[in-house]
Chain A
Amino acid sequence: MSEPLLRVRDLKTYFVTEQGSGTARAVDGVSFEVYPGETLGLVGESGCGKTVTSLSLLRLIPEPPGHIRPGSFIEFEGRNLLTLAPRELRAIRGNQIAMIFQEPLTSLNPVLTVGDQIAEAAILHQGLTRRAARRRTIDMLRLVGIPDPAERVDHYPHQMSGGMRQRVMIAMALVCHPKLLIADEPTTALDVTIQAQILELLDRLQVELGMAVLLITHDLGVVAGAADRVVVMYAGQVAEQAPTGQLFARPLHPYTEGLLASVPRLDAPAARGRTRLHSIPGQVPAATAWPEGCRFHPRCPYAWDRCRQEEPPLLDAGTGEPGAHSVRCWLLTDPRRRRLHA
């Protein structure tokens, strides 16, 4: 493979809690790469550190209470974003790395027209005149599939539907043709039909503009359709990382297995008369008190003594290229236990 566009090494983002009861280790040693042009899916349930990871990439963590620990490393095109001066960082934000947020309803400024908001980045980073920026904005609105862009450009966010607003957000993020787009739950607030349209749109734009996408979601269905590779996060760490096809065909981490089993399916199990949907017992523990040993062991059906005492490192699954598929689980060292359990 070519050089990665973004390389994250041992990212740790901690929050000091108000009560002084300790430090929330929201992201605790996360590493991954994003290669040019690919889509990397980042999945996990609420509270696993997905959003904090994405905000950390552009240093948008509110400081204090949050801080990125020394020793963390976020390299974009060979430059460590964590040591850049604020001015240099601003030149990257919105220009080379853009971001779209979860809630299209609240991510747009209610008192500015959508045109003004899209044009802002173009004026800021590319030095366009107001008139040129307006033309670019109308082109962008057309690109993201908004009808009557010349008219819509002067509308306010409240005059648009949720799907339209998410399209506006995408136009806003893409106006400078960034190399990397961070999409944090871009479709969660939308209904399924609009969701499909937005994902299709992202897919098309990715090909047209040749950018990489970091797609953050809790929805495995979204990942299956859109991502080339998947990183599964649990309790502030990477639990498993694999090419999408391989992850779905052969999940190795019990957490991934559980997630996949929890996806409702129209085809299989009903025939056997067992229609109850699988769920992983328990919930993600609090980030102030991760369990000892493997952080998943209290919820893991396979857990044995070693899991309670020793924290597993990311182990190579030994399939495909080295490092292509890695798993943070002791089962890899003792595969018989998986069969025993079954």
Chain B
Amino acid sequence: MTVGTWLALAGVAVLALIVAAEVRSRAKASAAGRRFLRYPAAVPGIFVLAFVVAVAVAAPLVAPLDPYAIPHVEGVANLPPSLHRLLGTDPSGRDVYSRLVYGARISLGIGAIAMVLAVTLGAAVGVVAGYFRHRVDAVLMRLVDLGLAMPRMFLLLMIVALWGQISLANLVLLIGFTGWFATSRVVRAEVLSLREREFIAAARALGTRPARVVWRHVLPNAAAPIIVSAALGIGHVMLLEASLSFVGIGVPSPQPSWGNMIADGAPVLATAPWTSTFPGLAIAVVVMALNAVGDALRDALDPRKESA
């Protein structure tokens, strides 16, 4: 660890604090914001997320060593944490701290992109099913039932087994395309109640095309459940990525992801627990933060909580 990386780390922490403080002060201005703040873990959650995202973005500044470099010298593998190697080294002698920092890019990136894909797909299917109902709804929802009934892990294992080793892009697509079922149900339920509202009839009475009614009048009003399922969805995707990487079919080595880092350390868990422990902690903390923010958002965006 050099002075520069310590400074960068401190800078990132300060930035995250500023973001959290800013969110807090802005939230106080509105009723929905105050409901958000009533959730005690909301602001710490924002801080954690801001910190991790900033670390991922500023990875080259924050990480002191090359996360890929395997030193060609003996005796650097499985070193315990020290001031020089903050979180120790893994069985290949790579710096765990640096890999953790770069792993944030991959783990968060996969989580975010796959979630955007899943939520977009889920929202589209949910809106179409809920708005057009009848046969369209029946067909789409049976498809969703099928998707929900299938154990996702086995589905992915099967696809990967057919495919062999898959690239990062394909992994994201795969996770995204198998993760939209629950979202589509939530969105459909919301749209079913929205479509009976009078302003939808009013829009139709003005001669608005169905596609435009959906896009301008239904979708924005269904934003709340979509946002909430997105926030909670990233956490799920990150856990899934970690599981897949742990069993060796996720992010291909040597790229660091938090999941495959845990796998790297698994054989030496008894003698050098740091390699697995720190990425495991990182996943746990980030997923907890995401869930806290997701829950707080749900409270904030649910108008039925207005009177509480």
Which residues on A are within 8 Å of B, measured CB to CB? 55, 58, 60, 64, 89-95, 98-99, 101-103, 106-112, 120-121, 124-125, 169, 172
Contact = CB atoms under 8 A, between A and B. Distances in A.
A176 to B, nearest CB: 9
Interface string B277-307: 0000000000000000000000000000000
Given A111-B220, A111-B221, A94 B207 contact: yes
Closest 7 CB pairs of A and B: A94-B206, A93-B207, A94-B207, A90-B207, A99-B205, A107-B198, A106-B198
A137 B207 CA distance: 17
12 contacts: A60-B201, A60-B205, A92-B207, A94-B205, A98-B206, A101-B198, A110-B199, A111-B220, A111-B221, A120-B206, A124-B207, A169-B202
A107 B220 contact: no
Contacts of B167: none
Contacts of A121: 206-207
A112 B206 contact: no
Nearest to B196: A62
Contacts of A108: 199, 202
B216 interface: yes
B142 to A, nearest CB: 20
B116 interface: no
Given A93-B207, A121-B207, A101 B202 contact: yes
Contacts of B216: 109, 112, 120
A111 B301 CA distance: 13
A98 B204 CA distance: 10
Contact of A101 (B201, B207, B209, B217): B201
Contacts of B207: 89-95, 121, 124-125
Contacts of B203: 109, 120
Contacts of B204: 60, 93
B198 A103 contact: yes
Given A109-B221, A111-B220, A112-B220, A102 B206 contact: no
A13 to B, nearest CB: 15
Contact of B205 (A93, A102, A106, A111): A93
B205 A98 contact: yes
Main secondary structure of the interface of B (DSSP, over half): helix
B208 interface: yes
Residue of A55, A89, A109 with most partner-chain B CB within 10 A: A109
Contacts of A172: 202, 206
B123 to A, nearest CB: 15
B210 to A, nearest CB: 9
Given A64-B134, A106-B197, 20 more contacts: A60-B204, A89-B207, A93-B206, A93-B207, A98-B205, A98-B206, A99-B205, A101-B198, A101-B201, A101-B202, A101-B205, A102-B198, A109-B216, A109-B220, A110-B221, A111-B221, A112-B216, A124-B208, A169-B202, A172-B202
A112 B221 CA distance: 10
B186 to A, nearest CB: 18
A102 B202 CA distance: 11
Contacts of B209: 90
A307 to B, nearest CB: 38
Interface string B162-202: 00000000000000000000000000000000000111011
A112 to B, nearest CB: 7
A99 B207 CA distance: 11
A103 B134 CA distance: 28
Which of A60, A91, A94 neighbours the largest number of chain B CB atoms within 10 Å of its CB?
Answer: A94
Contacts of B199: 106-110
B204 to A, nearest CB: 6
A121 B207 CA distance: 8
B77 to A, nearest CB: 57
Nearest to B134: A64
Contacts of B134: 64
A58 B197 contact: no
A205 B227 CA distance: 43
A111 B199 CA distance: 11
B132 to A, nearest CB: 12
Nearest to B204: A60
Contacts of A125: 207
A124 B206 contact: yes
A106 B206 CA distance: 16
A111 B221 CA distance: 7
Contacts of B198: 101-103, 106-107
A125 B205 CA distance: 13
A110 to B, nearest CB: 7
A124 B203 CA distance: 11
B202 A99 contact: yes
A100 to B, nearest CB: 8
Nearest to A104: B198
